[in-house]
């Protein structure tokens, strides 16, 4: 719904855009606090949002939770790897 063009309700698209931007900024801030560069944390934040969104759509199409479970497992591994490679301040994720 957020990506559909609707000339009668442009506020829906603006609201969705603002929501995604807030999520990405929150993720980027978290990753920055854990030692990732600004460029990397913005890319990872965008990727996480895209992966979860795609998984939700696939779950609905397949009527299964398997896609979101697979996405969560892969994101977990990706973040563990990214955070281990950048020993910044803050708590470390547990394996």
CB 93 within 8 A of CB 80: yes
For residue 34 the two structure tokens come to 């854990």
- 26/32 Cα distance (integer angstroms): 10
Per residue in 18-76, pLDDT tens?
A: 988 999 999 999 999 988 988 899 999 999 999 999 999 999 999 999 999 999 999 99
CB 82 within 8 A of CB 44: yes
Threshold 0.85, pTM exceeds = no
Each domain of the chain, given as residue ranges in start order, spans 11-84
């Amino acid at each position: 719904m957020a990506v559909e063009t609707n000339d009668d309700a442009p506020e829906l698209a603006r609201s969705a855009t603002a929501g995604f931007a807030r999520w990405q900024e929150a993720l980027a801030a978290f990753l920055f606090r854990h030692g990732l560069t600004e460029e990397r944390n913005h890319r990872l934040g965008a990727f996480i949002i895209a992966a979860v969104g795609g998984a939700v759509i696939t779950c609905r199409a397949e009527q299964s939770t398997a896609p979101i479970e697979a996405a969560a497992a892969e994101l977990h591994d990706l973040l563990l790897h990214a955070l281990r490679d950048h020993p910044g301040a803050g708590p470390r994720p547990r394996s």
